[in-house]
Amino acid sequence: MSLSIKQIRDNTVRARHLMQRSRSQKFAVGAFNIDNQETLIAVAKAAQKLQSPVLIEVSHGEVEAMGLDNIRDLVDNYKAEYGIEMYINLDHSPSVEAAKRGIDAGFEFIHIDISQANHEATLEEITVKTKEVVEYAAFTGALVEAEERYFMGSSNLHTETIDYEEVKKYNTTPEEALSFVQATGIDTIAVQIGNLHGLYPVPKELDLELLQRLRDAVACQISLHGGSGTPLHYFEDAAKIGVSKININSDMRYAFRKTLEKVLADNHDEYAVVKLMPEVYGAVQKVVEEKINAFGSAGKAVN
């Protein structure tokens, strides 16, 4: 059931208040990708148990599989059932048109990522299209997030080690961040400080000194993508420095698949899928709870 414009605007006002609270109270909000209803249940249960605000996020593939309006309804239903503070982020939207559809559907957070569809997109193209989304989002008040260049990695299990010299080439500089924020008017900038999408055989290393310089350079919110596989102490420090949003996907997918494989192996004669899933989303819930505690958002929900 579609939300009214008033309901959408009320939700985005609360979302903006959450981002303001995260800055003043020095915590980060977890943005957790979902692939299906089970992962949504896992996030909702973790949020309820720890009284933490959360973002449910979906990228283009999940939107195509589930549908924008269906995602909106599912999140609203579980938000009401569990009595939690929960919002939706459209993650890595590859085009202006796709981002606008997310805004129209009432998503409170919109990540426009022109370089996702075209890794060679110029800064000028990215800036112009990002600014168009920012102007369109003003109608509902949705918060717009973007980055000035392609973000490394993919949300999968990688077998190669991390080439840190290559990663450093993509790191965001304070000068670039400030220029991009001023040119586009975005609410949140996704920075690269050693973070990259996916899980790797080695843990990720974040440049917290660079993060502090970025925090000093821009007034808007800062987001960290590629949070999976990162030692938790980095998250604790990042939240204190002033990161407001951290994305988690691959850690959840890994827990889901590995647990599902185990459950299927242990239950050869069970064909009622609904009976197999509680252990699976229970494992994902543990991942979400671990991140929430590291982000410092436990007990920060406002219903």
Q: Residue 85 in contact with residue 18, Cβ under 8 Å?
A: yes
Rounded Cα gap, residues 48 and 123, in angstroms: 41
Q: Is the CB of residue 236 less than 8 Å from the CB of residue 297? A: no
91 part of the active site:
yes
DSSP string across the chain: -PPPHHHHHHHHHHHHHHHHHHHHHT--EEEEE-SSHHHHHHHHHHHHHHT--EEEEE-HHHHHHH-HHHHHHHHHHHHHHHT--EEEEEEEE-SHHHHHHHHHTT-SEEEE-HHHH-TT--HHHHHHHHHHHHHHHTTTT-EEEE-SSPPPEEEEE--SPP-HHHHHHTPPPHHHHHHHHHHH--SEEEE-SS--EEE-SS-----HHHHHHHHHH-SSEEEE---TT--HHHHHHHHHHT--EEEE-HHHHHHHHHHHHHHHHH-TT---HHHHHHHHHHHHHHHHHHHHHHHT-TT----
The CA dihedral of 148, 167, 288, 256, to the nearest 10 degrees, is 110
Task: Please identify which of the residues 10, 35, 76, 91 carries the catalytic annotation.
Answer: 91
Q: Is 233 exposed, middle or buried (0-12, 13-18, 19+ CB in 10 A)?
A: exposed
Which residues are catalytic, by number?
Answer: 91
